[in-house]
């Protein structure tokens, strides 16, 4: 059975945050920058957590930071950077703007990954694929790299070129996971709804 030492974890922090009008990764959530919140949720399930983004911007957070090899090219470029520098077969990539993500969800993702013969394990909710809270095998690397070279940027656009297993909404419900685990924040209004939730509703497990 695959264990913690077999998986590398990455938190994507290099986004533009244009709609939020401030750096989402550094916004404080329950006393921590969102980047560190995400890293803390991910850490128990992986060998190491690395931030993917500009080194000079996040070096003070106390975690390894890996600069995007293709700056300003979107999440696919960040995922490719992580896969290129990882020595693990399986890698979990987590966007920093998922403040309600739970340890129970990540535990379920790791369990599914350990039993998978596919190239990726990705949630697929009623809103569609959720590619930035997912696990990718090193086998995805050449496909994603080719996409960058072809100036293709949508990760979901490659899901017919790699073997993907979906974690469905029904599966999440049956596993006792919350429906809002994968809710991300892009605007001040969405952020306000998150921080105004009753205390305890964002617990990690």
* CATH number for the domain that contains residue 61: 3.90.550.10
Of 1, 71, 20, nearest to 184 by C-alpha is 20
pLDDT value at position 187?
Answer: 83
Q: Which of 73-77, 143-147, 180-184, 193-197 has the lowest mean pLDDT?
A: 193-197
Q: Is the pLDDT of residue 202 over 80?
A: no
Residues 84-107 have a mean pLDDT of: 95
Residue 201 lies in a domain: no
What digits encode the pLDDT tens for the residues 8-21? 999 999 766 656 66
Q: Are 177 and 109 in contact (CB under 8 A)?
A: no
pLDDT value at position 189?
Answer: 84
Residue 136 lies in a domain: yes
Q: Is the pLDDT of residue 204 over 80?
A: no
Return the exposure string of 27-64: e unless at least 16 CB atoms fall within 10 Å of the residue's CB, then b.
bebeeebbbbbbbebbbebbebbbbbbeeebbeebebe
Domain that holds residue 67: 4-195
Predicted structure pTM score:
0.91
CA 41 centroid distance within chain: 11
Residue 33 lies in a domain: yes
Q: Is 144 exposed, middle or buried (0-12, 13-18, 19+ CB in 10 A)?
A: buried
What digits encode the pLDDT tens for the residues 4-52? 568 999 999 976 665 666 888 999 988 999 999 999 999 999 999 999 9
Residue 202 lies in a domain: no
Residue 176 lies in a domain: yes
Q: Distance (Å, rounded) from C-alpha 8 to C-alpha 182?
A: 20
Residue 129, CA distances (Å) to 6, 72, 108, 132, 157 in order: 25, 22, 17, 9, 11
Q: Is the pLDDT of residue 179 over 80?
A: no
Q: Given pLDDT bands bounded at 50, 70 and 90, which one contains residue 205?
A: very low
* 201 CB neighbour count, 10 Å cutoff: 10
Q: Is the pLDDT of residue 203 over 50?
A: no
Q: Distance (Å, rounded) from C-alpha 144 to C-alpha 157?
A: 10
What's the domain count of the chain?
A: 1
Residue 204 lies in a domain: no
Q: Which residue has the tokens 């986004």?
A: 15
Residue 16 lies in a domain: yes
Residue 203 lies in a domain: no
């Amino acid at each position: 059975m695959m264990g913690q030492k077999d998986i590398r974890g990455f938190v994507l922090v290099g986004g533009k945050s244009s709609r939020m009008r401030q750096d989402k990764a550094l916004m404080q959530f329950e006393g921590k920058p969102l980047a560190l919140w995400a890293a803390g949720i991910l850490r128990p399930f992986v060998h190491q957590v690395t931030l993917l983004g500009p080194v000079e911007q996040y070096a003070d957070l106390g975690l390894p930071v890996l600069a995007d090899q293709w700056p300003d090219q979107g999440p696919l470029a960040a995922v490719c950077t992580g896969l290129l520098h990882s020595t693990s077969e399986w890698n979990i990539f987590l966007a920093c703007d998922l403040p309600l993500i739970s340890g129970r969800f990540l535990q379920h993702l790791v369990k599914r990954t350990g039993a998978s013969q596919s190239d990726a394990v990705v949630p697929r909710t009623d809103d569609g694929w959720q590619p930035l809270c997912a696990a990718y095998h090193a086998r995805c690397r050449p496909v994603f790299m080719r996409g960058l070279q072809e100036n293709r940027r949508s990760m979901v656009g490659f899901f017919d070129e790699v073997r993907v297993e979906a974690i469905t909404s029904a599966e999440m419900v049956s596993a006792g996971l919350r429906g809002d685990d994968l809710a991300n924040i892009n605007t001040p209004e969405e952020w306000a709804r998150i921080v105004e939730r009753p205390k305890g509703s964002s617990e990690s497990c």
